[in-house]
Every structure is written in C-alpha cells, then in structure tokens.
Amino acid sequence: MSAELLVERDDVAVYHASWADLLKVLPRREDNTVCDALIVDAPYSERTHRAHDAASESAGGRRVLDYGAWSTDCVREFCEAWVPATRGWFVSITDHVLAPSWAATWERLGLYVFSPLACVQSGSRVRILGDGPAQWSTWAVVARPRTAAFAKWGALPGAYVVPPGHYDRSGVVGGKPLWLMERLVEDYTRPGELVCDPCCGGGRTLEAALRTGRRAVGGDAMREHAEIAADRCGRRMIQRPLFAEGS
C-alpha cells in the first residue's frame, strides 16, 4: 500500500497510509525531522483487544475492533522509525501491557521518559488494567528529548480526568474523546507547531490540534478510518466555537 492523500490544506493533511508509507511521503525539514510532536493512539495489545471484543460481543457485538492488535515488536519498529523524525514531545496512548514497551523503547532511543499518566472518566469506578467490560480508561506514556528547551517546558499533569459530558468517541472503535486529545495537544505542543498522528483513526488528534491552533498531519492504514479523519478535518467546522470559553 502506498500513501494516498485525502485532504490537504494549509494547516492539515490526511492520508490513507500505513505509518511506514506516511513517513516516506512527508517532507523532511533541514534537521531531517517531519513534525514537531508525535501524538499517537496506536492499536493496543492482543490481550486488551481480546478482552474488549469479548465484552462487546456479550453486549450485542456492535463495537468489536476492526483492526489488529500490536505487539512489542510493532511498538519497537514504529518508535525506531518515528523518533528520529520528530523534533519534540512523544505521547502514546496505550494499555498497561504495551506501556512498558513504549517507555523502554523510547528510553533506549535516548529520550527522557515519564511514568505513564492515567486517563480516566470522572466519577467512574476505574478499571485501569483494561481487562473487560470497563468504563473507559487508558494510559498516556510521554517522553521528550533530553535537551534544555524541553526540560524547561513547565508543570505538566500527572493524570487526565475526562469530565462528564466529554466522553464522545470519534466514529472509530477505540476512538478517543476530543477533550482528552485537546489537553494532550495543549500540554505537549506550542501553537503553530506541526502535530503528527500516524495511526489517526477517526482523526481526533488532528481535530484537537486544529482546534487549538496547531497544524496537523495524520494517516491511517484503514481506508474507512482515514476517510472519517478526512471528513472530520476537511469538511467539518474545526475552528474554536465562536463563543468558546476563554476565546
């Protein structure tokens, strides 16, 4: 499969592409990077996929996962390709099985890695291990280059608690709430920077980046998902709402 460009504007591009093909087509900057920050919500482990689907099937089977799980090797291959291509922060939303693989791989590649941050719904009885018919919860593993500019970034949260009324999904099974993605984008990037999500699903990271004044590029290996992302970024209103708080 090669990369097919579905949407391109001044501030966003969306491809139907595997992450490997996406990396081949993105323009390299003078320092050989392609983006300022990588914020990715790649597939979870086999264990979580199985538990998710078993729970979904017992509830009528409408939301089984339509893409394959990732292994430690998938994480390693992905990081080895994308770390040299990224100038700033790395955020991976993942499960308890793969979180140590993301952290260990980034550490080996020279990044400073933080302990994983829990991302949970406010007021829920959180089942943090992702084993079954749980309310939604996940981990964000975060890393940065070991340079002074990133060490002085400022105070960062130890967890993300998604408030009631913000549990919306993206149209892709496993999709994330916009609220969470906006917080991650705001915490780990600066306005105007280029955020990349090479496994963008329904395009939540890209949407969050655009709504917070960043630029965004993303791709997904599944056409159906990439089309949802393209639709979200290309054809819907993605500015901040006119009367948004603080605007």
Q: Which residues of this chain interact with ligand SAM, rule CB under 6 A?
A: 18-19, 41-43, 67, 170, 172, 174-176, 198-199, 201-202, 204, 219-222, 225
> What are the structure tokens assigned to 225, written together?
């998902």
Nearest distance from C-beta of residue 232 to ligand SAM, angstroms: 9
Q: Residue 1 Cβ, how far from ligand SAM at the closest point, in Å? A: 9
Task: Give whole-number Cα distances, 28 to 133, 189, 203, 206, 235, in Å.
Answer: 43, 19, 23, 20, 27
What residue is closest to ligand SAM based on CB?
201
Question: Using H for helix, E for strand and C for coil, what is the string for 221-236?
Answer: CCHHHHHHHHHHHHHC
Tell me whether residue 4 or residue 145 sits nearer to ligand SAM (CB atom).
4
Task: Please state the closest distance from residue 154 (CB atom) to ligand SAM, in A.
Answer: 25
Nearer Cβ to ligand SAM (151/168) = 168
Strand, helix or coil for residue 243: coil
Please give the C-alpha separations between residue 39 and each of 157, 180, 187, 229, 232, in angstroms, as whole numbers.
Answer: 16, 12, 11, 15, 17
Closest CB 52 distance from ligand SAM, rounded Å: 10
The helix (run of H) or strand (run of E) holding residue 40 is strand 37-40
| Residue number, 18 or 86, with CB nearest to ligand SAM | 18
> 19 with 200: CB under 8 angstroms?
no
- Nearer to ligand SAM (CB atom), residue 128 or residue 145: 128
